[in-house]
Amino acid sequence: MKHRGNALEALVAGLRGCPADAADWRAVIALANRTLLTPDLFSSLLRAGQISRLPRDVRKYLRFVHGCNRERNLRLRAQLREAVAALNRRGIVPLLLKGAVPLFLSPIDRVPSRMTSDLDLAVEPADEAVARSCLEELGYVEMAGARGMVRQQDAGMLELRPSRGNGFELPKLVRRNGLRVNIPSVRSRALHWIVHDLLKEGDYWRGRIDLRHLHDLARLAEREDVDWTALRASMADRRARNALDTQLLALQHFFGTNIPAKCAQRPMIRFQHWRRVFTATHPIIGAPLRLAGNLMWGARRFSQADDLARRGSTDLARRIARTLLNPRAKI
């Protein structure tokens, strides 16, 4: 139990450029691998000039993983540019989402260290059919059982979806190397990560933390002026504001991000934060809390699914197992 807590503290310290003096690096690397943060750990320590403080075998391993991820990100960036160029030729300017944004915006001689699982693009609903046809001409095929398109030679899946307005500023048109894309506003990017993790995947109820996305938010707050107060005021209801406040308190706790003081004042938010940190650092004795959260989220999700009766008991059992057992790189 203490072992996990120490590994988490050491990993976060490394991501902040301050390696722990007495870290169990085997446990730290295991956690970094699980949360998809190993390349970011290396690059953070390298930027801070602290990589030499690590044991030689640890440095060697981190450098190897970082190098492999760099080569993969170079391939992903080339894949992204090819797709954007093909869409542009059809008069379509895609909206880039999540990891596709830093890949596209990175200088030609550098790629971000973030480990990116796939490429997410959105187009206007009226353009979706043409966009899919365009990608099929490049050799993409729909992946069975997943919302994405793949080719055998690529490093990752490409997910194409219809764009939806969110009430914030309009995306910014960016031209780079003859290509045109739309980039979401800073608040839109922050909102996407928070809503996706805490509400869509239920981390607010389940007491989980996606440390990679939390690190993404921390880096975004470092580089950009994120107006957390305005973002909070835009949330649709109290439940969404509670989820936002819980994530902001985690940002402050792990990465020292400046947040509005009122976000951390309410007892419910402080309890939710404590629950998430406790189950992350004490996975065994915190298991009952995690189980209760999973059951709460499962009941909420399935009660809102009006088509479950049509899908049958087999589909229901599969969804329950996926909801309760799939860790999805969370802590």
- DSSP per residue, 140-194: -EEPTTSS-EE-TT-SSEEEEEE----SSPPPEEEEETTEEEEE--HHHHHHHHH
Of 19, 78, 48, 328, nearest in space to 203 by CA: 328
CA distance 70 to 110: 9
The 10s digit of each residue's pLDDT in 81-115 is 999 999 999 999 999 999 999 999 998 888 999 99
Contact 220, 189 (CB under 8 A): yes
Please give the mean pLDDT across all residues of the chain. 89
Q: What is the mean pLDDT of residues 19-42?
A: 95
Q: How much is the pLDDT for 312?
A: 53
- Name the strands in the sheet holding 172-176, side by side, starting at the edge strand that comes first in the sequence: 141-142, 149-150, 157-162, 118-123, 95-97, 179-183, 172-176
- B/e letters for 71-101, b = 16+ CB within 10 Å, e = fewer, are ebbeebbebbbebbebbbeeebbbbbbbbbb
List phi, psi (to 5°) of 265: -90, -30
Q: How much is the pLDDT for 322?
A: 55
User: Is residue 225 exposed (0-12), middle (13-18) or buried (19+ Cβ within 10 Å)?
Assistant: exposed
Q: What is the mean pLDDT of residues 22-50?
A: 96
Q: Sorting pLDDT into bands at 50, 70 and 90, what band is 307?
A: low
- B/e letters for 152-191, b = 16+ CB within 10 Å, e = fewer, are eebbbbbbbbebeeeebeebeeeeeeebbbbbbebbbbbb
Q: Is the pLDDT of residue 313 over 80?
A: no
Of 176, 154, 146, 189, nearest in space to 322 by CA: 146
Q: How much is the pLDDT for 286?
A: 85
Q: Which of 18-22, 70-74, 145-149 has the highest mean pLDDT?
A: 70-74
- CA separation (Å) from 67 to 43, 131, 170, 221? 10, 33, 36, 26
Q: Are strands 157-162 and 95-97 parallel, antiparallel or unpaired?
A: unpaired
Q: What is the pTM of this model?
A: 0.88
Q: Which of 3-17, 49-63, 163-177 has the highest mean pLDDT?
A: 49-63
**Least confident residue range of 90-104, 183-197, 307-321:** 307-321
Of 235, 322, 148, nearest in space to 247 by CA: 235
The 10s digit of each residue's pLDDT in 269-304 is 999 999 999 999 988 888 888 888 888 888 877 776
- Give 304's contacts (C-beta < 8 A, 6+ positions apart): none
Q: Sorting pLDDT into bands at 50, 70 and 90, what band is 50?
A: very high
Contact 113, 70 (CB under 8 A): yes
CATH number assigned to the domain with residue range 72-184, chosen from the 4 options 3.20.20.140, 3.40.50.11440, 2.40.50.140, 3.30.460.40:
3.30.460.40
Q: How much is the pLDDT for 169?
A: 75
Q: What is the mean pLDDT of residues 59-64?
A: 98
Q: What is the mean pLDDT of residues 309-318?
A: 54
Provide the residue ranges of all domains of the chain, joining segments of one domain with +.
Answer: 1-54, 72-184, 186-331
Q: What is the mean pLDDT of residues 125-129?
A: 95
Q: How much is the pLDDT for 1?
A: 44
- Give residue 289's Cα distance to chain centre: 24
